[in-house]
Structure 1
Amino acid sequence: MIRLLAWLRGNIDGVVALVLAMVVGVLAVLDLIDVDQVNAVVLLVLGLLATTLLRDRQLSAQAVRDASAVQLLYGPDIGHAHTLARRDTEVWIFKGGTGTYIRAVTLRACVENARREQRPLRMQLEILDPANEPLCKTYAQFRTSLSPETGRSDEAWTTERTRRESYATVLAACWFRQRFTFLTIEVGLSSVMTTFRWDLSSSCVIVTQDNPNTPALMFERDKPYYRDLNRELVASFKQTRRVQLSRCEELPLGNEPTVDEVRGLFDALGLGLPASFTDRDVADITRRALQPRNPY
């Protein structure tokens, strides 16, 4: 009964038209109404049918728009979509693991595009907190589970590597901030791991995963969900531990920062490097920050 009532409520105009047609048809056969009355009812039925058709057409068009709101991207299309998203954007919001691809490609490319066009650029990066060792261990285990057999050319994911990658992203943010006046960049350290990477530009949101066999999702700005995902990223960033990047202005970094410069920077930021980190470890962080390898 509930299903029947729901069906009647959704198709009331068609039901009314059908009932009117049947009633008028019976009355006309019995010669109980004249021709003028029949014509009037026919016009009414046609009007109801036209209304039904217009409503169905509108619903169909809406369904098509909703279906095209999300695009699936595979293989090279993912990189191409990122390239187009970086081209004219004035904002880039990232949420993910350690920001490896951000350092290797996105940050540098966005700064170069903005400098060439002499326009401001705002970036917001949410990465794993390198001071949270259990969290970094969990992330390393997750990454290892995706590709348990590491080849000779691939570097294994460990707790220490995860921490260095996050530290490198902070260092890269400071380095670029000092070299491009119109770059406004924020870094938030998250205490929660995510298995997705979110990249939001002025034109779209691209959601990827670390599994290369999984397609990426793209939501364009003028389609549904872009605003919702933007709101989600802003809300998530507000829950992070904010890095006070403004303090880096007091400690200029060289084109190739020294170990002492890097240590002093992290101390000033309130992110003092672990005592177990040797000078070689610090140099490795610098290499990952300024000479990153594109993981894809």
Structure 2
Amino acid sequence: MKRLVTAVKRAAPWAAQNADGAIALTLAIVVGVMGIMPGEMFGPKGDDVQRQVISAATLVILALVATALLRDRVRQAPVERTITSGALAQLPERLQRLDQLESLVEGTRKALDELQLVRVLGNRQEIGEALAAARKDTTRWSFKGGTGTYLRAVTLPECVAASRKVRRHLTITVEIVDPTNEEVCEAYAHYRRSLSDLPDGTGERWTTDRARKESYATILAAFWHRQRYGLLDISVGLSHTMTTFRWDLSATRLIMTVEDPNRAMSALAGTFYYENCDSELRLSLEQARRVPIERYKAVPLSDEPTVEEVEELFRRIELPLPKAYTEHDIVDVTRKALQAKDPYGP
């Protein structure tokens, strides 16, 4: 009995909230029971009475069911309005915010990926390996720096040799200090001496005269290689300002070095840093004084150019050598051009 009372108490709140449904359920049970009872139990005309009671009860049940449905619909209307006017109305804005968030996440991920591809190289071996990897199978090279000593000693001859081996087109752009501008040559030499007054990897100290000769040598090397490899397109620009950085950019990577032979930075092609440095080098070259490389046929250079050939070449391209230069100075320029010593070598 106690369990029954407890069950009734638990069911009472539900029955109160759903009275029409509870009554309909009760009537349905009663009608179902009356339907299976014999008609004689309702008197002489038990069958008629039974049918009438069942029909009347069925109508009542249908009415209660309809009432329950209408009541539920009335209850759901505010919820539907809330959903329609609230969440659904804000859905386009929320989707837009989601798209913005996805774009932000994608941009952040890409930026982090690119940062991971900018590496600091911490010793000579790493720098040498990076430069070698940049030269491998490249079809282009852009250099900007002081006088191009390493370019003459390693980059230019090795890139030309590799391209000639497979008959591949090669494009090289070079920007160095203007050898006819004494001020910029002195500024560059003074900067190099301020870092170290000792001889560098070539065994020489930096002076204004050396800076001038090194730049003349790079120009001479450009003409010499252009005459010997028909698939080489080379451009040389002369700058009236010096830079403390050296950029070497190939088709696959960028290596930016400084005077410290154990420090450099490398970035792979396609990264933000690489693309912007590429644009910087192009724009800088456009502003530099251009050497007329197209006149490379004007003065044929021997395998070991003579003093007369070198003098005539610089005269023809309107970059005459200083009048104070002796035969020894011109031989020195020629040696630097074609037998340059790797400043970072052993």
Indicate the TM-score class for this superposition, using the shorter chain for normalisation. 0.7 to 0.9
With normalisation by structure 1, the TM-score equals 0.80
CA distance in 2, matches of 1:208, 1:79: 11
- Give the paired residue count: 261
CA distance in 2, matches of 1:173, 1:153: 20
CA distance in 2, matches of 1:220, 1:64: 14
Alignment correspondent of 1:85: 134
C-alpha change, 1:113 and 1:230, in structure 2 (3 Å) is same
Describe the SS at the equivalent of 2:319: coil
Q: Structure 1: which 5+ residue stretches go unaligned?
A: 1-32
**Contact conserved, 1:130 with 1:136, CA < 8 A, in 2?**
yes
Describe the SS at the equivalent of 1:127: strand
Q: Which has the larger radius of gyration?
A: 2
Alignment correspondent of 2:275: 227
CA distance in 2, matches of 1:93, 1:146: 26
> How much does 1:88 deviate?
1.1
**Contact conserved, 1:175 with 1:253, CA < 8 A, in 2?**
yes
Alignment correspondent of 1:237: 285
Does 2:227 correspond to 1:174?
no
Percentage identity across aligned positions? 45
> How much does 1:64 deviate?
2.5
**Contact conserved, 2:202 with 2:341, CA < 8 A, in 1?**
no
C-alpha change, 1:153 and 1:251, in structure 2 (3 Å) is closer
C-alpha change, 1:264 and 1:117, in structure 2 (3 Å) is same
> How much does 1:67 deviate?
2.3
Alignment correspondent of 1:98: 147
Does 2:184 correspond to 1:135?
yes
Alignment correspondent of 2:339: 291
> How much does 1:72 deviate?
1.1
User: 78-87 or 149-158: which moved more?
Assistant: 149-158
CA distance in 1, matches of 2:141, 2:115: 26
Q: 2:301 aligns with which of 239, 253, 277?
A: 253
Structure holding more helix per residue: 2
CA distance in 2, matches of 1:63, 1:127: 32
Does 2:208 correspond to 1:125?
no
CA distance in 2, matches of 1:206, 1:63: 20
Does 2:115 correspond to 1:67?
yes
Does 2:207 correspond to 1:154?
no
C-alpha change, 1:145 and 1:227, in structure 2 (3 Å) is same
> How much does 1:230 deviate?
1.1
CA distance in 1, matches of 2:343, 2:200: 14
User: 71-80 or 171-180: which moved more?
Assistant: 71-80
**Contact conserved, 2:238 with 2:291, CA < 8 A, in 1?**
yes
Alignment correspondent of 2:10: none
Write the deviation string for residues 169-202 of structure 1: whole angstroms up to 9, x where unpaired. Answer: 0000000000001001111110010000011111
C-alpha change, 1:272 and 1:61, in structure 2 (3 Å) is same
C-alpha change, 1:225 and 1:251, in structure 2 (3 Å) is same
Letter paired with 2:155: T
CA distance in 1, matches of 2:256, 2:200: 27
Q: Structure 2: which 5+ residue stretches go unaligned?
A: 1-75
Write the deviation string for residues 225-281 of structure 1: whole angstroms up to 9, x where unpaired. Answer: 222111111110011111112223021100101111110111011110001100000
> How much does 1:66 deviate?
3.5
CA distance in 1, matches of 2:250, 2:335: 27
CA distance in 2, matches of 1:249, 1:278: 25
